[in-house]
Chains A and B, each alone.
Chain A
């Protein structure tokens, strides 16, 4: 029976090619527009660490200038810095109260494999961090592993590469034990991580959340010991009489520049850690620091993403515009269906006269609208892919993960097309079923 109705729907579409084309095309365009914006919004709002987003948290300390706030939140309240001073970061790291600590900053240097020609060196940003970085943020190793505990203390010159850069420097072979030149310093490769792009890249500033991950990782302590410092490209904020020319001065200053995340074995430990932070700032207050009133913050991944608003207002607005566009398209399709079914009055009358019930007519035309929705959905899906790749081209500053549909979205696209086609087909189908056999047969 089903195949019979599908055949009828197909024949009916063939009979009025222009109308069918318009209906399918209109649905396809509406669906494509809606799904493009929904894809971008949905991918931007992903939870990048689903299994532990409540156990991983970012530390914000209020070490800022007593005379004025660091900035203002969207709600107009005073904001506090989201990065730490070196002395505070080190104090928290040494206290070792959380289960894992990921502390990080960055610098830029010329990088090449030791065996490469000096002219093949490339200028790259380097992530300087602690050994738990990869574990906390979910990067997995294809060769080797992260550096040992001692390296975080001694600043041993060891480096972890991304798969992509391992390709460039070592043709993709297992490069553990090989040597890399960072500027003029020799670093030994200890690990290579697999392709890794958390979307959003939640652990940095909101402006940087949809950019690619960095390709080189070294112990923070080695950056400090070697005075590697890129004052004109890293993010840092200072207040008061801030020194600004060398890393050594930066370390002693009240400038904030280090991001700090902590991981707990269980989410319950978060409260204890927050108390520890409060005690720490109280202690510091005794020596004249931390004099601002705003409290410290310990924000889980989800809280931080919410605060920073990974999905911009513009994306949300885009989704609404596209849905309105879809609505306009669907009204159009409905109107086309009315035309179509009206033209079929004779056929309906005839079918009714030879014994088809109203229900049969509804099923027959219901199938037709499902069919239209399905074809429109498939074409819409293709159009959306084209649209997304154009978008990826246009917004090359964003990582292309944001503009890639996953399986759920693809199924959702077809589902949305079919369900909206049926929903907007209901009324025309119902109207068609009301046609009296007698009225039509007369005119045949």
Chain B
């Protein structure tokens, strides 16, 4: 500890290069803290469970190549044809496919007035079998009964009087105890709907929506010229099922099939922009840490170069190699700590700014702790090589030249 005073004194005497290093460390620390927090958030967002049996599901859009009056019969026949295939376990049609960025969102209210807003929700309207096809987990209440399911060409929000919600919605409706939700009535556009069941998870169609765990399902499907199909293949037969379903549907003249993808593809492409920004965030962080370590290395070398004679003198006066190394390691800790101190202040300021920007939560204090430890360790790694070099300066060098 007795090294502290001379360290502070020397740093004060030659301020420029330590100040530069302090700035670098402060900038690096600020960014490291905030970026890693954002990266972790993004990671969680990307890996949010969808509630679907993703590995076995594939989806596509197909037209119903008949006159509007025949839509219902055609769709039911298509279902029957697909179900006949041995590789297919179940099939359904939906107004929108999860994570494809195309769908409907509506505001839920507690009463008829829109003053009693609860939350915004992703809207699904699906045909029978959706629980099995998607692999949803009904954790409370019941599924829709066969009699409730409607297939018609009118708007689905008009036809039904019941709906199912995800657990995340249930928690918004009854914040005190979500298990009380079943049986309650909510209003959409002033029209009442009774909640009959709660599913554990079902992700809405927008990957970028932070609240995309909030979805509701209507037991009614609106028939239009085009239908979005979701098919569950038998375990391990996804590829075969995809080929067979395509072939079966293409038997009809005038059939158009579009966006024919395994669900894993849908997930990947839905989250691609987010995954890409995650990679960029990581690259920036790594780059910054490397640059800062280089800076530390350079600063230490520079300092040692200038103090060659001083080191020689200390050695000549009896300082051990370890004492020399310790001196530079301590010096680095002092500089790094000052950098971290400033960095922490900037990090908090930046975080406040980012919070309004991205609805981010404040950075938890562990980030500061781990960040500080990481920066200190990186600094020590960077300073050891030049410090060892300094320790090897021979005492005789002090006596050489003036």
List the interface of chain A (C-beta within 8 A of B): 22, 26, 29-30, 33, 65, 67-69, 108, 110, 123, 184, 207, 229-233, 238-246, 313-314, 317-318, 321-322, 324-325, 327-329, 331-332, 334-336, 338-339, 342-343, 391, 394-397, 427, 431, 442-443
Q: A123 touching B305 by the CB < 8 A rule?
A: no
Task: Specify which of A68, A325, A334 is in contact with B288 (CB 8 Å cutoff).
Answer: A325
Q: Is the CB of A442 within 8 A of B153?
A: no
CB closest chain-A residue, reference B290: A29
Interface membership of B183, Cβ < 8 A: no
Q: Quick one: closest B residue to A239, CB to CB? A: B189
Asked whether A68 lies within 8 Å of B292 as measured between CB atoms, the reply is: no
- Nearest 7 Cβ contacts at the A-B interface: A245-B153, A394-B276, A68-B114, A339-B302, A332-B295, A231-B224, A331-B20
In B173-193, which residues have CB < 8 Å from any A CB?
A: 189-190
Across-interface contacts of A332 in B (CB, < 8 A): 20, 24, 291-292, 294-295, 298
**How far in angstroms is the closest Cβ of chain A from B232?**
20
Q: B369 within 8 Å of A by Cβ?
A: no
Query: Given that A242-B155, A244-B155, A244-B224 are known contacts, is A321 also in contact with B302, CB under 8 Å in the complex?
Result: no
Q: Which residues of B contact A68 (CB under 8 A)?
A: 107, 114, 189
Taking CB atoms, residues of chain B closer than 8 Å to A108 are 258
Name the CB-closest residue of B to A30.
B291
Taking a contact as CB atoms under 8 Å apart, the answer to whether A394 and B258 are in contact is no
Known: A242-B155, A328-B24, A328-B28. A29 touches B291 (CB 8 A): yes
Question: Dominant SS at the A interface?
Answer: helix
Inter-subunit contact B226/A443 (CB<8 Å): no
A69 to chain B: closest residue by CB: B114
- Chain A neighbourhood of B228, CB < 8 A: 232
Q: Please, how many angstroms separate the alpha-carbon atoms of A443 and B291 in the complex? A: 34
Measured CB to CB, the closest approach of chain A to B124, in angstroms, equals 13
- Interface residue? B273 (CB, 8 A): yes
The reply to whether A335 and B28 contact each other, CB–CB distance below 8 Å, is no
Inter-subunit contact A67/B24 (CB<8 Å) = no
Residues of A within 8 A of B273 (CB): 395, 397
- Determine if A325 and B402 form an interchain contact, defined as CB atoms under 8 angstroms apart: no
Q: Is the CB of B358 within 8 A of A313?
A: yes
Docked CA distance A313–B71 (Å): 44
With A233-B226, A239-B189, A335-B20 given, name 18 new contacts (CB 8 A): A67-B189, A68-B114, A231-B226, A233-B102, A244-B222, A245-B223, A314-B358, A321-B31, A325-B31, A327-B27, A328-B24, A328-B28, A328-B288, A328-B292, A331-B27, A338-B302, A339-B298, A395-B276
16 residue pairs of the A-B complex, CB under 8 angstroms, read: A123-B256, A230-B225, A230-B226, A232-B61, A233-B61, A238-B155, A243-B153, A325-B31, A328-B295, A331-B24, A335-B17, A335-B295, A338-B302, A343-B305, A391-B280, A397-B272
Interface residues of B in 274-324 (CB under 8 A from A): 276-277, 279-280, 284, 287-288, 291-292, 294-295, 298-299, 301-302, 305-306
Q: How far, in whole Å, are A201 and B294 apart by their CA atoms in the complex?
A: 43
* Chain B residue total in the interface (Cβ 8 A): 60
Interchain CA distance A318-B153 in the complex, whole Å: 47
Query: Of residues 210 to 237 in B, which have CB atoms within 8 Å of A's CB atoms?
Result: 222-228
Closest residue to B28 on the A side, CB-wise? Answer: A328
Cβ-defined contact, A241 with B155, below 8 A: yes
- Does B1 belong to the interface (CB within 8 Å)? no
Q: Does B68 contact A (CB under 8 A)?
A: yes
**Contact across chains for A232 and B107 when beta carbons are under 8 A apart:** no
Contacts of A314 in B (CB 8 A): 277, 358
| B133 proximal to A (CB < 8 A) | no
- Residues on B with beta carbons closer than 8 Å to the beta carbon of A334: 20
Judged by a CB distance under 8 angstroms, whether B401 is at the interface is yes
B169 CB within 8 Å of chain A? no
The answer to whether A328 and B291 touch (CB under 8 A), given A65-B189, A233-B61, A396-B272, is: yes
Taking CB atoms, residues of chain B closer than 8 Å to A110 are 256
State in angstroms the CA–CA spacing of A233 and B354 once bound together.
34
Considering the complex, which residues of chain B in the window 331-382 have a beta carbon less than 8 Å from any beta carbon of chain A?
A: 354, 357-358
Assuming the contacts A68-B114, A342-B302, asked whether A232 and B31 have C-beta atoms less than 8 A apart, the reply is no
With a CB–CB cut-off of 8 A, which chain B residues contact A329? 291
B232-254 CB contacts (< 8 Å) to partner A = 254
Query: Judging by beta carbons under 8 Å apart, are A232 and B102 in contact?
Result: yes
Which B residues, 14 to 67, have Cβ-Cβ distances below 8 Å to chain A? Answer: 16-17, 20-21, 23-24, 27-28, 30-31, 35, 61
Alpha-carbon separation in the docked complex, A397 to B100 (Å): 13
- Is the pair B190, A67 in contact by a Cβ cutoff of 8 Å? yes
Q: Tell whether, in the assembled complex, residue B61 and residue A328 are in contact, meaning their CB atoms are under 8 Å apart.
A: no
Q: Does B147 contact A (CB under 8 A)?
A: no
Contact (Cβ within 8 A) B189 A240: yes
Verify B277–A22 contact, CB threshold 8 A: no
Would B287 and A29 count as touching, CB distance under 8 A? yes
Interface string of B149-165 (1 = CB under 8 A from A): 00001110010000000
